[in-house]
Amino acid sequence: MGKFHQQWPDEIDKANERLQGEDDTANGFGSMGMGFESKQALELVNDFHDKIKDWIQEFMILGGLRRGNELIHDIDVAIIPKDEFSLSSWIGVNTFRVKAEFHKNDIRFGLPYRNDATFRTVPIMVDMWLCPDKEVFELTKLMRTGNARFNIHLVEEAHKQNMAVRFKAKEYDVITKRKVPRYGLYGAFQQWFEDKEQGTRWFKWRINPLRKLASTEREIIEIVLGRYYEPEERNF
């Protein structure tokens, strides 16, 4: 029996019973099959923060917990590491599993990627978004706070105004002919493509790298949507 089961035996047992025989994905609980009330999830993430605080510069809670959801099935956090070696060593020692999803297959530790990890000391899924600098941290705050419908709405409204939000570690630059990081809100235009054999046409949104309009979460939301939406307002 783990530390947290000793602390909250009823809550953990009830969460497991509630999801017994139910489809996790349909109920919004992801792969862990466990839900915690927000107060308990906040205590868990604070305990997690205390374990890694010596190796990080910035730390922010994202996802449903930041949006004020009452029931939390996993925890998202954005981190700017200070001591990457010690942090990565702790992750390796204290996880049941780690699945890294690298942006565009870039495997350098310093670029942002997510560690899907079940920590032995935390009985809930923790998604760590490791960011190399403040600019990436700001875009991670925006995109990983969600929810998905809010993000889709934000992107669609930006397109209506000939703008595009970029959250990419590598994007092809037509000027330099190289792949470069793009994080922020840019002026954009539609580029059409055509397959004459198939008789189909489609378009992609291309950004103008010289027209970067905003680089912080607040600025991007205010410019695109006309006002800032607090995290609890983003449960679309």
Output the tens digit of pLDDT for each of the chain's 236 residues.
344 444 445 544 544 454 344 433 333 333 344 577 888 888 888 888 888 899 999 999 999 999 999 888 878 889 998 988 888 787 777 665 444 443 333 322 333 344 444 454 456 677 788 888 899 999 999 999 989 999 999 999 999 999 999 987 677 666 667 777 788 999 998 888 777 777 787 778 888 888 899 999 999 999 999 999 999 999 98
Which amino acid appears at position 149 of this protein? Answer: R
Rounded to whole angstroms, the Cα distance separating 163 from 17 reads 47
Report pLDDT for 40: 84
DSSP code of residue 221 = H
Work out the number of other CB atoms within 10 angstroms of the CB of residue 186: 23
CA dihedral of residues 165, 170, 172, 177 (deg, nearest 10):
140
Tell whether pTM > 0.75: no
Report pLDDT for 90: 78
Report pLDDT for 102: 38
Rounded to whole angstroms, the Cα distance separating 102 from 231 reads 26
CA angle 87, 231, 137 (to 5 degrees): 35
**At a CB cut-off of 8 Å and minimum separation 6, what does 231 contact?**
66, 67, 68, 145
DSSP code of residue 229 = P
Rounded to whole angstroms, the Cα distance separating 189 from 194 reads 17
Report pLDDT for 107: 27
**At a CB cut-off of 8 Å and minimum separation 6, what does 176 contact?**
none
138-to-99, 113, 142, 183 alpha-carbon distances in Å? 23, 14, 6, 9
Give per-residue pLDDT as tens, 201-220.
777 888 888 889 999 999 99
DSSP element (H, E) containing 66:
helix 63-66
Report pLDDT for 95: 60
Phi, psi of 34 (to 5 degrees): -150, 140
For residue 145, how many C-alpha atoms fall within 13 Å in the half-sphere facing its CB?
A: 24
For the chain, which residues make up each domain, given as ranges? 3-133, 148-233
Q: Assign domain 3-133 to a CATH class.
A: alpha beta
Query: Whose structure tokens read 């009330």?
Result: 37
DSSP string of 134-152, one letter each residue: HHHHHHHHHHHH--HHHHH
